[in-house]
Amino acid sequence: MMNQLPVTQCRFCGGEDIRVGWQSDALVTFKRNGLLGNRIKFLICGNCGAVLYQCVAEPHRFPQAR
Ligand SMILES: [Zn+2]
Protein backbone atom coordinates (compact mmCIF):
# COMPACT_ATOMS: atom_id res chain seq x y z
CA MET A 1 0.00 0.00 0.00
CA MET A 2 1.04 3.53 -0.70
CA ASN A 3 0.20 5.50 2.40
CA GLN A 4 2.36 8.52 1.98
CA LEU A 5 0.93 11.39 0.05
CA PRO A 6 2.77 12.43 -3.10
CA VAL A 7 1.90 16.03 -2.37
CA THR A 8 1.62 17.73 1.00
CA GLN A 9 1.21 21.31 -0.10
CA CYS A 10 -0.79 23.03 -2.79
CA ARG A 11 1.49 24.30 -5.51
CA PHE A 12 -0.96 27.04 -6.40
CA CYS A 13 -1.99 28.64 -3.13
CA GLY A 14 0.51 27.09 -0.74
CA GLY A 15 -2.22 25.57 1.41
CA GLU A 16 -1.54 22.36 3.31
CA ASP A 17 -5.16 21.29 3.68
CA ILE A 18 -5.01 18.32 1.33
CA ARG A 19 -8.23 16.36 0.75
CA VAL A 20 -8.71 13.02 -0.92
CA GLY A 21 -11.43 11.94 -3.32
CA TRP A 22 -12.21 8.86 -5.36
CA GLN A 23 -13.79 8.59 -8.75
CA SER A 24 -15.22 5.43 -10.28
CA ASP A 25 -16.47 5.89 -13.82
CA ALA A 26 -18.66 8.98 -13.72
CA LEU A 27 -19.41 8.70 -10.03
CA VAL A 28 -17.43 10.87 -7.68
CA THR A 29 -17.46 9.59 -4.14
CA PHE A 30 -15.71 10.04 -0.88
CA LYS A 31 -16.03 6.36 -0.03
CA ARG A 32 -12.87 4.42 -0.47
CA ASN A 33 -14.28 0.90 -0.47
CA GLY A 34 -17.28 -0.84 -1.92
CA LEU A 35 -16.88 0.11 -5.55
CA LEU A 36 -15.85 -2.10 -8.41
CA GLY A 37 -13.91 -1.14 -11.47
CA ASN A 38 -11.10 1.24 -12.04
CA ARG A 39 -10.99 3.89 -9.40
CA ILE A 40 -9.11 7.13 -9.64
CA LYS A 41 -7.74 8.75 -6.54
CA PHE A 42 -7.59 12.50 -6.34
CA LEU A 43 -5.72 14.75 -4.02
CA ILE A 44 -7.41 18.11 -3.83
CA CYS A 45 -6.47 21.36 -2.18
CA GLY A 46 -9.01 22.08 0.52
CA ASN A 47 -8.32 25.77 0.22
CA CYS A 48 -8.50 26.63 -3.47
CA GLY A 49 -9.91 23.37 -4.87
CA ALA A 50 -7.09 22.60 -7.28
CA VAL A 51 -6.56 18.97 -8.22
CA LEU A 52 -2.99 18.37 -7.19
CA TYR A 53 -2.56 14.71 -8.06
CA GLN A 54 -4.47 11.80 -9.45
CA CYS A 55 -3.68 8.15 -9.91
CA VAL A 56 -5.53 4.91 -10.54
CA ALA A 57 -6.03 2.55 -7.63
CA GLU A 58 -5.27 -0.65 -9.54
CA PRO A 59 -2.75 0.11 -12.28
CA HIS A 60 -2.18 -3.59 -12.95
CA ARG A 61 -5.69 -3.77 -14.37
CA PHE A 62 -4.68 -1.70 -17.36
CA PRO A 63 -3.05 -3.16 -20.45
CA GLN A 64 0.52 -2.34 -21.23
CA ALA A 65 0.97 0.28 -23.88
CA ARG A 66 3.37 -1.94 -25.83
ZN1 LIG B 1 -4.63 25.48 -3.16
Express each pLDDT in 37-59 by its tens digit: 567 889 999 999 999 999 887 78
Question: Ligand 1 centre from 3 Cα, in Å?
Answer: 21
Q: Has residue 14 got a pLDDT over 60?
A: yes
Amino acid of residue 27 = L
What's the confidence (pLDDT) of residue 17? 96
User: 15-38 burial string, b = 16+ CB within 10 Å, else e?
Assistant: beebeeebbbeeeeeeeeeeeeee
Contacts of 19 (CB under 8 A, 6+ apart): 43, 44, 45, 46
Model confidence band, residue 1 (pLDDT cutoffs 50, 70, 90): very low
Alpha carbons 49 and 10: distance in angstroms, whole number? 9
The number of beta carbons lying within 10 Å of the beta carbon of residue 62 is 9
Q: Which residues surround ligand 1, an ion (CB under 5 A)?
A: 10, 12-13, 15, 45, 47-48, 50
What's the confidence (pLDDT) of residue 60? 82
Domain coordinates in residue numbering, the chain: 1-59
Model confidence band, residue 26 (pLDDT cutoffs 50, 70, 90): low
